[in-house]
Amino acid sequence: MKKFTLVCLALVLVPLMAFAQGQSDTAAKESGPVTLTIWGRDIPDTAADHIYVHDLIEGFQKANPDIKLEYIPLGDPGLADKTKITMAAGVDQLPEIVQSWGGSVMGGYADAGRLLDLTSELASIPGSKAASDAMSWKGKTYGVAPFFAVAGIFLNEDIFARNGLKAPTTIVEMEAVCDTLLAKGIQPFACGAKDKWPALAMYMYLVNRYGGNAFDRAQARTLSFADDAFVNAAKTYQMWVKKGYFGTKPLGEAYGDAQQQMAIGKAAMMVTGSWMCSQFSNKEFTDQKIGFYAFPVVTGGVGKVTDVMGMTDIGFFATKNAEAKKDAVVRFFKYAMSVEACASEPGRICAVPGVPAKAELTGMASKVFAASQSVQFWWDQDLPPAVTSPLNDTIQSFFLPNSDVASSLKAFEELVIDEMGPVKK
């Protein structure tokens, strides 16, 4: 019995004794040179789409030996989940800098007082307005976005040339192109609707081309999301799905599958963000010649070809935990926005002036961005988080064979009313 009591005691005591150790560990962290911890998405290796992060970390470290960078890559759902939970627990455990797309998610953290206001410190950094807007919330800037992405049409130039087609500039032309392609047995659009969010890009454009600034008004609650502008765009979208513009199994196709259909010339067009430039200009990924064009307009419609949808491609914000290390953080942000750091990135649109696009495809995308007169932030980064995943669900439902788009949009509007209030008269 005595031996047994000892076993039980040990089971309880061992963990308790180790507490002390745990506590002494955290105390030791504060001394030494300034350390900046960064939570990022990609691993900093030399693959084409990671090269910027790689150069940023290495270059900054070399230029600033007095600051120690601790870069921790966390990957796709990892970064978001870990940030969310750590934010929920307060400020102390946060890293100094977190990679982010800005927008409403960052805004939520800002509202909760977890972020460091750097408005005056970052004001002098040159860069595109759309990109710096993305990293701002309620008039305050919390970070930088060296790269910005716009949505447009990637299209397979070889297929178009072979079939005597040219890049459509109006919706009517686009439908004609699709019908020709279908007749030849080529899937007109690759989408990736299985993952839900990829289907949003085309819908944002359809709403804009049919209804102009309908989204702005709906967000400002002067228009309902069940309004005709949204319903008509959805009906067009649904009609295209039914005609087979997105292939025979649009809902089984994930975003990765869609990229692959493009890469091997089985699909002719893909409406998505310009972050795909690096893949689509990579000879190891595709042997097709792919171009990038602005989304066509409706003849006589409200939306203009210079209205583009965009979002942060790579961005960082600073947390409240960095308050004591403000200088170091600002130095890092300035370096992130320098020509030197951005120079080697092949496939993203750079928000920093004076960085030429390395790949031809990236150049085409940059041109669309440069020509834009208004940039609408990607809806699911702009609306409050509470309604963004229902938004993507709603759009996926347009692909379902028996869905009634008007009632889906109405259900979505009810949710929006819950979160953002009813439409003001």
Partner 1 sequence: MRTGFKLHRAHYGWIEVFITIILVLFALTVIVPMCLPLLFVFKTQLEYSYDPWSLPKHITVKNFLEAWDAIKIGEGLANTLLVSLGVVVLAVPCAALAGYVFARYHSKVTEVLFYAILVCYFIPIQMVLIPLYKFNIKLGLSNTLLGLILPMAAFNIPFWVLIYRSFFHTLPKDLGDAACIDGAGHATTFFKIMLPLASPATTLALLLIFIAAWSDYFLSLIMLNDQKLFTMQLRVSQFLNAYGVDRMPRYAAAAIISMSPTVILYIIGHKWVIKGTLAGALKE
Partner 2 sequence: MVQSIQIFDPIKTKKTAKRNRAIFVSLCIFPSLLFLVMFMYYPIVETFRLSFMKSSGLGQDRFIGLDNYRKLFVSEEFRAGLVHVLTWAFWSIVIQLPLAFFIAFSLTFYVNRVSKPMRAIYYMANIMPSAITAMLGKFVFSPNNGILNNLGNQFGWDWLSNMDFLGSERLAFWSVFAVATWAYTGFPIIYLMARIEQMPKEFKEAAELDGVTGWKYAWYILLPNLVYPLRILAVLCTIGSLKLFDLPYMMTTGGPGHATVTLGISLYRQGFINWQYGRASAIGVIIFLLSLIFTIIQFSGKKEAA
Note the residues at the interface with partner 2 (CB under 8 A).
1, 4-5, 8, 11-12, 80-81, 84, 87-88, 108-109, 111-112, 114, 193-196, 248-254, 257, 260-261, 266, 384-390, 393, 396-397, 399-400, 403, 411, 418
With contacts defined by CB under 8 A, name the span among 2-10, 98-106, 225-233, 343-351 that binds partner 1.
2-10
Least CB distance to partner 1 at residue 39 (A): 9
Closest C-alpha to 333, from 155, 145, 86: 145
Least CB distance to partner 1 at residue 121 (A): 26
- Binding partner selected for residue 249 from partner 2, partner 1, none, CB under the kind-specific 5 to 8 Å limit: partner 2
Least CB distance to partner 1 at residue 65 (A): 20
Cα separation values, 231 from 39, 144, 192, 383, 404, Å: 40, 36, 22, 19, 10
User: By CB under 8 A, is residue 183 in contact with partner 1?
Assistant: no
Other beta carbons within 10 angstroms of residue 15's beta carbon come to: 10
Angle at 268 between CA 174 and CA 206, to 5 degrees: 40
Least CB distance to partner 2 at residue 320 (A): 12
Least CB distance to partner 2 at residue 379 (A): 15
Write the DSSP assignment of 240-305 as a string of letters.
HHHHTTT-S-TTT--HHHHHHHHHTTSEEEEEEEGGGHHHHT-TTT--S-EEEEPPPB-TT-S--T
Least CB distance to partner 1 at residue 46 (A): 10
Report residue 348 as tokens.
Answer: 């993203």
User: Cβ(196)–Cβ(395) under 8 Å?
Assistant: yes
- Binding partner selected for residue 73 from partner 1, partner 2, none, CB under the kind-specific 5 to 8 Å limit: partner 1
Judged on CB neighbours under 10 Å (0-12, 13-18, 19+), 14 is exposed
User: By CB under 8 A, is residue 30 in contact with partner 1?
Assistant: no
Residue 71 vs 137, nearer CB to partner 1: 71
Report residue 150 as tokens.
Answer: 């716009």
Please, which of residues 81-110 interact with partner 1 by CB under 8 A? 81-82, 85-86, 88-90, 92-93, 95
User: By CB under 8 A, is residue 70 in contact with partner 1?
Assistant: yes
Least CB distance to partner 1 at residue 111 (A): 18
- Binding partner selected for residue 22 from partner 2, partner 1, none, CB under the kind-specific 5 to 8 Å limit: partner 1
Residue 253 vs 313, nearer CB to partner 2: 253
Buried b (16+ CB within 10 A) or exposed e, 387-410: bbebbbebbbbbbeeebebeebbb
User: By CB under 8 A, is residue 323 in contact with partner 1?
Assistant: no
Least CB distance to partner 2 at residue 108 (A): 6
Give the contact letters, 31-50, x = binds to partner 1 (CB under 8 A), - = no.
------x---xxx-x-x--x
Judged on CB neighbours under 10 Å (0-12, 13-18, 19+), 381 is buried
Residues 390 and 401: their CA atoms lie apart, in Å, by 19
User: Cβ(165)–Cβ(180) under 8 Å?
Assistant: yes
Please, which of residues 370-389 interact with partner 1 by CB under 8 A? none
User: By CB under 8 A, is residue 58 in contact with partner 1?
Assistant: no
Residue 364 vs 391, nearer CB to partner 2: 391
Angle at 203 between CA 230 and CA 154, to 5 degrees: 160
CA atoms within 13 Å, Cβ hemisphere of 10 = 6
Residues 38 and 318: their CA atoms lie apart, in Å, by 9
Residues 416 and 384: their CA atoms lie apart, in Å, by 9
Binding site for partner 1 (CB under 8 A): 1, 3-4, 7-8, 11, 14-15, 18-19, 21-23, 25-26, 37, 41-43, 45, 47, 50, 70, 72-78, 81-82, 85-86, 88-90, 92-93, 95, 254-256, 259-260, 263-264, 279, 284-287
